[in-house]
Amino acid sequence: MEMRETFGRIVIFVAMLLVAGQAAAQFGADEYQQDMWSKPKGKAETVQAKGKIHAIQGDVLQVANEELRQQWLVKMPRDLAGIRVSGTARSTYLRPGMMVRFSGQFDAKGNSQAPIEKLEVFTPKTVKEGMLPDQQQFGIFPEAVFGGKMLEDATAGAQPKTEVASFVVSGQLRGFRKGELFVAAGTTLVRAPLAEKAEISVDVPDYRWVRVGDEIEVHGWSYPHLMTHVVATRVSIQASQPFGELPEEKPGKSPAAPAGKRAGPGAKTDDKELPF
C-alpha cells in the first residue's frame, strides 16, 4: 500500500516537472520574441539602411536594397516623432480634420483674390510638458505690412480698401467642396478656391499611407546575430506616387428633367448644404 502511494507521488511529481518545463520554455520564447523587437539586451548594433519597401505587415516593413543585395525586416518606431512620411498629393487626398497651410492673396475684407497654387498638409508641433503652445502654428499671418492690421481685424464700418496683400493661412481643414477650401484658422473661417493643378505637399508622421515601392531611410538597432531584423528609432519615407485617388472624369451634361419629375443626378439643384 505504501509502495503504491509512493509510486503515485513520484508520477505526480514528474508530471509537475514536465508541465513546469513546458511553461518555462514557452515563457522563454515569448521573452525572447519581445526583447528581440523592443529592448536591447547586451550588445546591440547601430543600423542605417536605405532601400525600397517590398512588403508591409502591420508595423513591420520588408525593405530591400537591390544594389547592395541586402534586405531587412524593419519594425516602425513607437514614437511618432521618429516617423516622417512625405510626398505629393492630389486634391482627392484632402479630408476634414487635416492641418493645412497655404499663402494666398486677400483683400482687407478677407476675400480671396486668386486660386491657391500651393498647399501643405502638415502635422502640428508637439507641445512639450511645461511649455506654451506655439501661437504661430495656427491663424492668419501677413507676409508683409497690410495697413498694420490682421485680416480678421478689419472693421465692418471702415471704408472698403482696394489693396491686396499676401497672407499665410494655417489651420484645420473643415471642408473641401466644389474646388473651395474651408479652413478654421484660429477663430476665423477662411474660404479660398484651390487651383485645379495646385501643388499639394504632404509631411506627416503617419505610416498608414506607406505603400510598396516607396523609398525609405532607416536609423535603428539590431542584435549582432540578427542584423536583418531592425528596430527603427527614426525613419524617413518618400512616397513614390501621389497620395489620393485619380479624380473621376466629369460626366457629360445631363438633359433637363421633364416638368413635374425629379431631376437626375447630373441635374443642377438649389443646393445650400454646408461644405463640411
Q: Based on the fold, state whether residues 112 and 175 are members of the same structural domain.
A: yes
Q: Based on the fold, state whether residues 33 and 121 are members of the same structural domain.
A: no
Q: Based on the fold, state whether residues 109 and 171 are members of the same structural domain.
A: yes
- pTM of the entire structure? 0.66
Three-class SS state of 153: helix
pLDDT, tens digit, 9 for 90 and up, residues 197-228: 999 999 999 888 899 999 999 999 998 888 89
Is residue 149, in this structure, part of any structural domain at all? yes
pLDDT, tens digit, 9 for 90 and up, residues 173-206: 999 999 999 999 988 899 999 999 999 999 999 8
Q: How many domains does the chain have?
A: 2
Task: Calculate the alpha carbon distances from 16 to 2, 6, 7, 106 in Å.
Answer: 21, 15, 14, 80
Report the C-alpha gap between 115 and 201 in whole angstroms: 16
Q: Based on the fold, state whether residues 16 and 117 are members of the same structural domain.
A: no
Question: Is 238 a residue whose pLDDT tops 50?
Answer: yes
Is residue 187, in this structure, part of any structural domain at all? yes
Is residue 221, in this structure, part of any structural domain at all? no
Is residue 260, in this structure, part of any structural domain at all? no
Bridge-based pairing state of the strands 83-89 and 229-238: parallel
Q: What pLDDT, on a 0 to 100 scale, did the predictor assign at position 148?
A: 43
Q: What is the per-residue DSSP string for 214-248?
A: -EEEEEEEE-TT-TTEEEEEEEEEE-SS-BSPPPP
Q: Comparing C-alpha atoms, which of 72, 44, 272, 54 is closest to residue 177?
A: 272
Is residue 115, in this structure, part of any structural domain at all? yes
Q: Which domain covers residue 108, as residue numbers?
A: 91-125+136-153+162-202
Is residue 104, in this structure, part of any structural domain at all? yes
Is residue 245, in this structure, part of any structural domain at all? no
